[in-house]
Amino acid sequence: MTNSRRDFLNSGIALWAASLLPSVSVAAGPAELKESDPIAIALGYKKDATAVDIAKYPKRAGDAGATQFCSNCALYSAGANGLGGCTAIPGKQVAGAGWCNAWIPVS
């Protein structure tokens, strides 16, 4: 009976130790912002800036608007794989080639 108790305790310790290890998904970083997310809709975010409705967002129209991308916005911080952080959208990553109405030129 002592062996079964010892086995039980060892299994419990192993499970407890495994629960302390970070999961792989946490190490991957914040998720990418989806265009269907409420904040993306509110800001007019598009992963591809050329898909922005310029009638609805005239800020993106014309020659000046054609040069506006998340990657050259003052709120953007570059990350990996063409994604980065945005202070207007905390906790999510946005596409560098994207655009939203919060775009501010880098000064």
> Quick one: pLDDT band at residue 5, thresholds 50, 70, 90?
low
Give a yes or no: residue 76 inside a domain.
Answer: yes
Q: Which of 14-23, 27-36, 49-58 has the highest mean pLDDT?
A: 49-58
Alpha-carbon gap, residue 92 to 34, rounded angstroms:
9
Give a yes or no: residue 4 inside a domain.
Answer: no
Give a yes or no: residue 105 inside a domain.
Answer: no
Least confident of 17-26, 53-62, 91-100: 17-26
Give a yes or no: residue 5 inside a domain.
Answer: no
Q: Which of 11-20, 27-36, 84-93 has the highest mean pLDDT?
A: 84-93
Q: Cβ neighbours of residue 72 under 8 Å, at least 6 residues apart?
A: 105, 106
Query: Per-residue pLDDT for 15 more than 60?
Result: no
Query: Which two tokens mark 8?
Result: 């039980």
Please report, to the nearest 10 degrees, the dihedral formed by the alpha carbons of residues 64, 62, 77, 40 taken in order. 150
Task: Note whether 93 and 31 are within 8 A (CB).
Answer: yes
Q: What is the CATH number of the domain that holds 83?
A: 4.10.490.10
Please give the tally of structural domains in the chain. Answer: 1
Give a yes or no: residue 47 inside a domain.
Answer: yes
Give a yes or no: residue 9 inside a domain.
Answer: no
Alpha-carbon gap, residue 83 to 70, rounded angstroms:
9
Give a yes or no: residue 66 inside a domain.
Answer: yes
Give a yes or no: residue 63 inside a domain.
Answer: yes
pTM strictly above 0.75? no
DSSP string, 33-74: PPTTSHHHHHHT-BSSGGGS-TTT-GGG-HHHHTT--GGGBT
Show the domain range for 68.
29-95
